[in-house]
Structures are given as structure tokens and as C-alpha cells.
């Protein structure tokens, strides 16, 4: 395998997994108070545009990587802007053992 391909795969893995810890922390704590909604909105837009670019060029590595990143960053954005009760319901559906309703919104 060529070095450039290995670097590309490593970059894709890092990009796709970089949002996972934040998403999981939100699910566990239900706390999004320190997350910037405008920054995540811009991030979501960026991934949507990269996904469109990949689709237009029919480049599967770009499509898959940015599709996964779009889903994860959109989830974080959604959890940031949702009211507390809806955020709790989604987090409880994903992780019923989470902190529950005794947390900050």
C-alpha cells in the first residue's frame, strides 16, 4: 500500500472518530452548555458541502468520511439546540443508564 493511501486512511479514521467522544459525553452527561452552536452549525455545513463535493466527484472515500462526520456533528448540534426534555429523551433512548433528569439542560 502506498504511503499516500495510508495517510488518507489514517486521516479519515481520525476525522470520523474525533466527534465520538463529544457525542458520547453529551449522551452520558446531557450537558451541552459549553458547546458553541454557531461553531457546530458551521462544521455541519462544511461537512455537508464536502459530502456534496464527494458525491459530485463520485469519490467514495470523501463521501464515506464526510457522511459519517456530518451525522456525528449534526447529532452534537441537534443536542446542543434542543430543549432539555427532548435532549433527555434522546439521550435516554440511546443510553438508558445515563444520568437522567437530574442534570443541567
pLDDT tens digits, 37-71? 999 999 999 999 999 999 999 998 899 999 999 99
DSSP string, 5-72: HHHHHHHHHHHHHTTHHHHHHHHHH---TTS-HHHHHHHHHHHHHHHHHHHHHT-HHHHHHHHHHHHH
Checking if the pLDDT of 101 tops 80, the result is no
**pLDDT at 96 (0 to 100):** 85
Give the pLDDT score at 48.
98
pLDDT reading at 73 higher than 60: yes
Average pLDDT of the residues of the chain: 90
pLDDT at residue 21, as a whole number? 94
Amino acid at each position: 500500500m502506498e504511503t499516500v493511501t495510508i495517510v488518507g486512511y489514517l486521516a479519515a479514521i481520525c476525522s470520523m472518530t474525533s466527534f465520538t467522544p463529544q457525542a458520547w459525553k453529551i449522551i452520558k452527561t446531557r450537558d451541552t452548555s459549553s458547546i458553541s452552536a454557531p461553531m457546530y452549525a458551521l462544521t455541519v455545513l462544511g461537512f455537508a458541502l464536502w459530502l456534496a463535493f464527494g458525491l459530485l466527484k463520485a469519490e467514495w472515500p470523501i463521501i464515506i468520511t464526510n457522511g459519517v462526520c456530518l451525522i456525528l456533528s449534526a447529532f452534537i448540534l441537534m443536542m446542543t439546540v434542543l430543549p432539555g426534555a427532548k435532549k433527555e429523551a434522546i439521550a435516554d433512548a440511546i443510553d438508558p443508564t445515563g444520568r437522567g433528569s437530574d442534570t443541567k439542560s
